[in-house]
Each structure stands twice: as C-alpha cells, then as structure tokens.
Structure 1
Amino acid sequence: MNRQPHTSAREIIVADAIREVVSELRLVDVADYVAYIRLEYFANLSDIVDSAAELYFMPDTLRFGHGGDVDLGWSGEPTVNLDLQLRPKGATVYFTLNMTALKAGVEIGYVALDDPSPDPMENTRFLASALEASKIRRTVPLDI
C-alpha cells in the first residue's frame, strides 16, 4: 500500500488521542495477550480494549478490530499488535496499535470520513477535532 503524505500527521493525532488508553492496555500481562491472540479469543481482547477505552472516550469510540498478532521470540522483547478502530462522530480510523514494554506505535490502514473535503489538511484537522470531541472530560472537585 502506498502511504499518503498526510498519513504521518494523522498517525501522530491518533497516537496522542489514545496515549492514556495504551497505558491502561499495558496493565494486562503480556502472557494474556499471547494466549488470547493465539487461541483467537477475540471477545476477551475486545473486553480489554472496551474497559481501557471507557475511561477516556465516549462509548463505542475505540473498539477492537478483527485481529491481532504477537511477535514473540527467544530473543528480544515481545510486541503485541492489535487491530483497532476509532470511531469519533463523522470518521472511522482503522489502525494497528503496536505495543512493547516501553514503546507504542500506530499504523493507520484507512481513514473513512462521512463528509470528506477535497483538501487532505482540512480532513486531518477534522479528524483531530472529532477525536478531541469524543474524549470524556473529567472535572476535578475544588478543595474548599
């Protein structure tokens, strides 16, 4: 697949949007990810993603896609790859989250917009604002 020039900017936007969710996903033991992926217990993976996302996004904004993979060998650290979907109002982003113990990355496969503009930069700005609008806002009580 040919990468579009605007894909990198969108990957940064998605990575920033899910940063806190990734921290939650890392609380799950890597052995569980290995077992669920190898045994194709995708409902379990979906539950994990839903539980992590519900703290930060409106319901059904971030969902598990249809698969995953684990790179696990005798040398090196394991990498967990999860197919995910971000669905803020007006857009759907299909991407893969790659997680190791200390790093994570996002690889966008496809972005679908309900009403796309002919200007890719405008679409990128729309995606950023849609993701921001789909986040849950928490208010901190004042100590009075």
Structure 2
Amino acid sequence: MNRQPHSSAREIIVASVLREVVSELRLVDVADYIAFIRLEQHGNLADLVESAAELYLMPGTLGFGHGGDINVGWTGEPTITLDLQLKPRGATIYFALKMSALKASIEVNYVSFDDPSPDPAENTRFLAHALEASRLQRSAPVAMRG
C-alpha cells in the first residue's frame, strides 16, 4: 500500500490518544497474547482491548479488529501486533498496534469518514477533534479537609 502524505500526522494523533490505553495493554503477560493469537481466541483479545480502553475512552470507541500477529523466536524480543479500530463520532480508523518490550507503534491502514472533505488536511483536523471528544474527561480529585 502506498503511504499518503497525511498518514504520519494521523498516526501521531492516534498514538497520542491511545498512550494510556497502550500502557494498560502492556500490563498483560506476553504469553497470554501469544496463546490468544495462536488459538484464535479473538473474544479474549477483544475483552483485553475493551478493558484497557474503558478508563480512557467513551464506550465503543476502541475495538479489536479481525486478528493479530506474533513474532516470537529464540532470539530477539517478542512482538505482538493487534488489528484495532477506533470509532470516534464521524470516522472509523483501521490500524495496527505493534508492541514489544520497550516500544509500541501504530500504523494507520485506512480512515473512513462519514462526511469527508476533499481536503485531507481538513479531514485530519476533524479526526483530531473527534478523537479528543471521545476521551473520557477526568475530574481532578477533591481535597479532603479534616
């Protein structure tokens, strides 16, 4: 697939919105990911993704796609790739999340807009606003007076 000039900007936007979710996903033991992917237990993977997202995103915003991949060998570190979908209001983003011991990356494969603009930059701005609106707003803790 040919990368388009706006793909990198969209990957940065998606990565910034998912930073905390990815941290949650990395708390899962790599052996669990290996087993779930090898045994095609997609329901378990979907549950992990949903659980990781529930503290940070509106319900239904992030979901497991149609599969995943593992790269595990006798040398090197394991790498887990999950196909995921983000569904903020007005768009759907299909992307791959790749996680290893020390880093994670996102590759946006396709973005579908409900009402796309002919201007890719305007679509990217819309995507940033839609994803920001899908974040759960956390209120600051209230100080207890004693």
Measured against the shorter chain, the TM-score band is over 0.9
Pairing 1:43–2:19 present: no
Shift of 1:141: 2.6
Q: Tell me which residue corresponds to 2:74.
A: 74
1:101, distance to aligned residue in structure 2 (A):
1.1
SS in structure 1 at match of 2:95: strand
Q: RMSD across aligned C-alpha pairs, in angstroms?
A: 0.7
Find the counterpart in structure 2 of residue 56 from structure 1.
56
The 3-state SS of whatever aligns with 1:33 is helix
1:1-144 superposed matches below 5 A? 1-143=1-143, 144=145
* Partner SS for 1:142: coil
The answer for unaligned runs of 5 or more in structure 2 is none
State the alpha-carbon separation in 2 of the partners of residues 126 and 29 from structure 1: 36
Q: What is the CA deviation profile of residues 8-53 of structure 1, one whole-angstrom value per residue up to 9, with x for unaligned ones? A: 0000100111010000000100000000000000000000000000
Q: Which amino acid aligns with 2:46?
A: S
Query: C-alpha distance in 2, partners of 1:41/1:13?
Result: 29
1:91 aligned partner, one-letter code: A
1-side partners of 2:11 and 2:142: how far apart? 36
- Aligned with 1:106: secondary structure? strand
Moved over 4 A (4+): none
CA apart distance, 1:96: 0.2
Q: What is the CA deviation profile of residues 62-120 of structure 1, one whole-angstrom value per residue up to 9, with x for unaligned ones?
A: 00001000000111000000000000000000000000111000011100000111110
Q: Distance in 2 between matches of 1:99 and 1:91?
A: 24
- Give me the whole-angstrom Cα distance separating, in 2, the residues matched to 1:138 and 1:12: 22
**What TM-score, normalized by structure 2, do the two folds share?**
0.97
Could you tell me how far 1:142 is from its partner in structure 2? 2.7
Amino acid at match of 1:26: R
Number of equivalenced pairs:
144
Partners in 1 of 2:88 and 2:103 — Cα distance?
A: 25
- Counterpart of 2:119 in structure 1: which amino acid? D
Identity, in percent, stands at: 70
